[in-house]
Amino acid sequence: MWLHRFVLDGRPMAHLVSSDKARLLEWGRERGLDPRWIQYKPLKDPRTGERAPMWHWDLEGALIPPRAAGSPATS
């Protein structure tokens, strides 16, 4: 799983992305997310250039995990 932070209309948001749908669903269940909200979007694997199946949660507010100590605060 990886977290992609971004800002939309001035609101901090993030995508939590994984090729392991079951793991993402479990993460969401632990935080009270409705499994109907998980999104599927094949993403290009930078190593091969081929599309790979991926799922993600759109996160905002308290659902965005805090930054790790020492990580850059770019967005």
- Phi then psi dihedrals of residue 4, to 5 deg: -115, 110
CA neighbours closer than 13 Å in the CB half-sphere of residue 68: 3
Domain extents in the chain: 2-63
pTM score of the predicted model: 0.79
Instruction: Note the pLDDT tens digit of each residue in 6-45.
Output: 999 999 999 999 999 999 999 999 999 999 999 999 999 8
Which CATH number describes the domain made up of 2-63? 3.10.28.10
CA 2 to chain centre: 6
Rounded CA-CA distance 3/56 in Å is: 9
